[in-house]
Amino acid sequence: MARPRKPDGELDLELEDLPAPARWREWMGRVEAVIFASAEPVLRESLARVVGKACNLDLIIDDIRDELRGRPYELVSVAGGWSFRTKLGFGDAIRAASGGPQKAELSQSYALVLMGIAYFQPITRAELSRFLGREVSGDAIASLRGDGFIAAGPRSPTPGAPYAYVTTPGFLAEFGFESLRDLPEIEKLEDAGLLGRTSGNLLGGAALASELRGVLGLKSDEDQPEEDAA
């Protein structure tokens, strides 16, 4: 049985009195418990505080994932850390059990603003409007900020020094991205004619939204009225 603390009250990280298999099992339990208890992705440096120097966290994570095979939830890497996520296919059951309203999905117009920021950040609202070929409303920016998907970044060196916008760790966590490198490769979108940054416009907005639907779980603008420009 593991000794959770040393005589001086500190957490025993090395667990040298335990046989190797029991030591590994104790480290696995600690890592899983810390991730389970956190509402946010847990970073590597946080997990390193509860295991010994000889512990390989990547192998610990692999072993936990192996034990979760066949379970309705899994351990995923998001936003530079790890979180537990319910597997696809169980969302309807969870919503039915909670009896609460479903979380509102992004419309195509808001999703295009969000993806424009994700690909071209830091970017101002005026620059976004040029890329999209339409005015980006202040309401769209405020809504995405309210959802925790974007934040104000550096000020642009253009007249008036407007804020440029960037995505947040909340954006990565919400959509299951470990980093922005997990976004669909922009070169593929350009080759398909969906993006046209050199022309100063974002081409084929509806096609781009369709391309990203599987990633974002978008609601069609045919189902949700398009937001008015400010």
Say what the pLDDT of residue 102 is: 57
Q: What is the pLDDT along the chain (230 residues), one digit of tens a residue?
A: 445 566 566 899 999 999 999 999 999 999 999 999 988 889 999 999 999 999 999 999 999 999 999 898 888 887 778 888 887 677 678 778 877 655 556 777 788 888 888 888 888 888 888 877 788 888 889 989 888 888 888 787 777 778 888 888 888 777 777 777 777 766 655 554 444 443 333 333 344 444 444 444 444 444 444 443 33
Tell me how far CA of residue 164 lies from CA of 3, 125, 149, 190, 210, in angstroms: 51, 7, 14, 23, 26
- For residue 199, count other CB atoms closer than 10 A to its CB: 11
Say what the pLDDT of residue 196 is: 44
Say what the pLDDT of residue 103 is: 57
- Separation of alpha carbons 23 and 1, rounded Å: 9
Say what the pLDDT of residue 190 is: 54
